[in-house]
Structure 1
Amino acid sequence: MASKTILILLLVALVVASPSQLPGYHGSPETPANYEFQYAVRDGNDYGHHETRDGDYTQGSYTVQLPDGRIQRVTYTVNGDSGFVAKVTYEGEAQYPAYA
């Protein structure tokens, strides 16, 4: 019974705690987002992603190697509430080898 009471008190404390007291929280909703990240994988199937954000403006691109040998590149922006605006391009020629 004591363990149930402690568990309930712990849950109540988490619900009542302000966001700045919660683990992993590093800002407030009023703080504008500002970051940049990038990754790339080259292991026979090349793909990657790069993105930057400054406040409400986000831009980035990602690439994927398609099964037909082409590279698909998606370049995108998000400006406030404008939504996700993407431009999709393809590099290379599609290859369809004969089935053996």
Structure 2
Amino acid sequence: MVAKFLLVPFMAVAVLGAPHPDSHPSYGPPPSYHAPSYQAPSYHAPSYKEPGMPYAFAYAVKDDYKGVDFGHDESNDGHVTSGSYRVALPDGRTQIVTFTASDETGYVAEVTYIGEARYPETKPYAPHAPAYGRPAYA
């Protein structure tokens, strides 16, 4: 019974606080707004130009059984990168690329080939005869 008496005041507050459907909404004047004055951004793009770090590396793979043969070597003195790479081509030649790269000259490459291209002999198409004579149809 005590619970009923406590519930009645809460229900009264909820009913009195609800908007009435026949009342118009009240809007006040908009708050005054002053746009900030424009200032040029003081942002300066960072410079990522860092001195180069010298390095050198090389690797090579040669597998006569599979016919794989390639390699690469490269070095950098902090300013200019130079090196070469080679690869065995399917036509039997070896392609060698020797290169240099720097900020002043960009990427400069010289491509050379060792060997002569060989292509397998092409034979005209000839259908194969059946292995056991003429096939039998049921």
- State the TM-score, normalizing by the size of structure 2: 0.49
d(CA) in 1 for partners of 2:92 and 2:80?
33
Unpaired segments of 5 or more residues in structure 1? 1-28
Letter in 2 for 1:38: A
Match of 1:83 in 2: 106
Match of 1:33 in 2: 53
d(CA) in 2 for partners of 1:73 and 1:89?
5
Equivalent position SS for 1:46: strand
Match of 2:134 in 1: none
What are the equivalent positions in structure 2 for 1:1-100 lying under 5 Å apart?
30-43=50-63, 44-99=67-122
RMSD: 1.8
d(CA) in 2 for partners of 1:51 and 1:38?
6
Letter in 2 for 1:93: E
Q: Which has the higher contact order (CA 8 A, sep 6+)?
A: 1
Equivalent position SS for 1:37: strand
Return the structure number with greater strand share: 1
Give 1:31 shift.
Answer: 4.3
- List structure 1 segments (4+ residues) > 3 angstroms apart after TM superposition: none
Give 1:98 shift.
Answer: 1.3
d(CA) in 2 for partners of 1:46 and 1:30?
36
Give 1:99 shift.
Answer: 3.7
Task: Report % sequence identity.
Answer: 54
Return the structure number with greater helix share: 1
Unpaired segments of 5 or more residues in structure 2? 1-48, 124-138
Structure exhibiting the larger radius of gyration computed from Cα positions: 2
d(CA) in 2 for partners of 1:30 and 1:98?
56
Question: What is the total number of aligned residue pairs between the two structures?
Answer: 73
d(CA) in 2 for partners of 1:39 and 1:52?
12
